[in-house]
């Protein structure tokens, strides 16, 4: 067991000397990314009843995928960064339908989305520090696709499902920890403002709901500096 111990010691000695980000660096990060919607919605408009049904709401569950970051350092403190990921998939649900409509509650269907986000990132620490926390502010575009009703919802009489795409602001805190000259550990959390309108139909009339998806997005992984 001497070799691994030696390797660890070498790593510990080298890490503090590792030069963190400098102008012109390209950083590629990969890891597990979770989109955890903190959703809140309007009451659901049910055209067949010609009213918003008080106390109803739309729900979304969370999903984890492969996340990728591409960053380019303009200086040792400021960079630009693009967030990409494999498509997220979420269940969409209906809650709060009263009385004779209670049967409409439950899983409505599924949707997929991609939330590419372009951010400016700021690293306040000196580049001699192996620990590099950062703040990011960016713009997000969320494209929804493959919206599909569940077979249960179709059996209940729903038809079609559509979600509007969204533009919004993304806030981020993260940290890189340099393990070697090039390899880093990374953790990051984002809050992304994603607002959409979901539309389906029931009884031949529109059913509509405004949803603030506003997810917390967590990613942990490894990065490599080129
Ligand atoms: Ni919002």
22: CA distance to ligand 1 center in Å?
Answer: 35
Mean pLDDT for the stretch of residues 144-164: 94
215: CA distance to ligand 1 center in Å?
Answer: 9
95: CA distance to ligand 1 center in Å?
Answer: 20
1: CA distance to ligand 1 center in Å?
Answer: 53
Burial class of 56 by CB neighbour count within 10 A (0 to 12, 13 to 18, 19+): buried
31: CA distance to ligand 1 center in Å?
Answer: 26
Q: In percent, how much of the chain has pLDDT > 90?
A: 84
117: CA distance to ligand 1 center in Å?
Answer: 15
Per-residue model confidence as pLDDT tens digits over 73-119? 999 999 999 999 999 999 999 999 998 888 889 999 999 999 999 99
Average pLDDT, the chain: 92
87: CA distance to ligand 1 center in Å?
Answer: 21
6: CA distance to ligand 1 center in Å?
Answer: 51
Cα separation, 194 vs 166, in Å, equals 6
Could you list the beta-strand ranges (E) of the chain: 26-36, 40-41, 44-46, 51-53, 57-60, 63-73, 78-85, 88-95, 106-114, 117-122, 131-149, 158-163, 166-178, 183-192, 195-202, 205-212, 216-225
191: CA distance to ligand 1 center in Å?
Answer: 10
163: CA distance to ligand 1 center in Å?
Answer: 15
- Number of structural domains (the chain) is 1
Cα separation, 164 vs 211, in Å, equals 10
What pLDDT was estimated at residue 101? 84
140: CA distance to ligand 1 center in Å?
Answer: 12
Mean pLDDT for the stretch of residues 28-41: 97
What is the band of 20 on the pLDDT scale with cuts at 50, 70, 90? confident
Domain range for 187 is 2-225
Cα separation, 19 vs 12, in Å, equals 14
186: CA distance to ligand 1 center in Å?
Answer: 27
Q: How many CA atoms lie within 13 A of 12 on its CB side?
A: 6
Q: How many CA atoms lie within 13 A of 67 on its CB side?
A: 27
Check which CATH number belongs to the domain holding 187 and give it.
Answer: 2.40.160.20
What pLDDT was estimated at residue 4? 64
What is the band of 18 on the pLDDT scale with cuts at 50, 70, 90? low
Lowest-pLDDT range, 96-105, 139-148, 158-167?
Answer: 96-105
97: CA distance to ligand 1 center in Å?
Answer: 24
């Amino acid at each position: 067991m001497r070799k691994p111990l030696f390797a660890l010691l070498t790593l510990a000695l080298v890490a503090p000397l590792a030069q963190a980000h400098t102008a012109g660096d390209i950083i590629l990060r990969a890891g597990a990314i979770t989109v955890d919607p903190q959703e809140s919605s309007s009451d659901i408009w049910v055209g067949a009843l010609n009213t918003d049904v008080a106390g109803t709401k739309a729900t979304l569950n969370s999903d984890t995928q492969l996340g990728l970051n591409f960053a380019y350092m303009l200086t040792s403190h400021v960079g630009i960064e693009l967030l990409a990921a494999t498509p997220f998939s979420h269940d969409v649900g209906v809650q709060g339908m009263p009385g004779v409509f209670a049967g409409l509650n439950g899983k409505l269907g599924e949707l997929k989305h991609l939330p590419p986000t372009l951010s400016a990132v700021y690293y306040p620490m000196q580049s001699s520090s192996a620990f590099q926390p950062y703040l990011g502010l960016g713009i997000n575009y969320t494209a929804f696709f493959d919206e599909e009703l569940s077979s249960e919802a179709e059996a209940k009489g729903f038809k079609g499902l559509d979600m509007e795409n969204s533009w919004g602001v993304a806030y981020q805190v993260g940290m890189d920890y340099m393990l070697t000259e090039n390899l880093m550990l990374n953790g990051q959390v984002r809050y992304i403002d994603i607002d959409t309108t979901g539309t389906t139909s029931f009884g031949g009339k529109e059913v509509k709901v405004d949803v603030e998806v506003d997810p917390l997005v967590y990613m942990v992984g490894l990065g490599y500096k080129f």
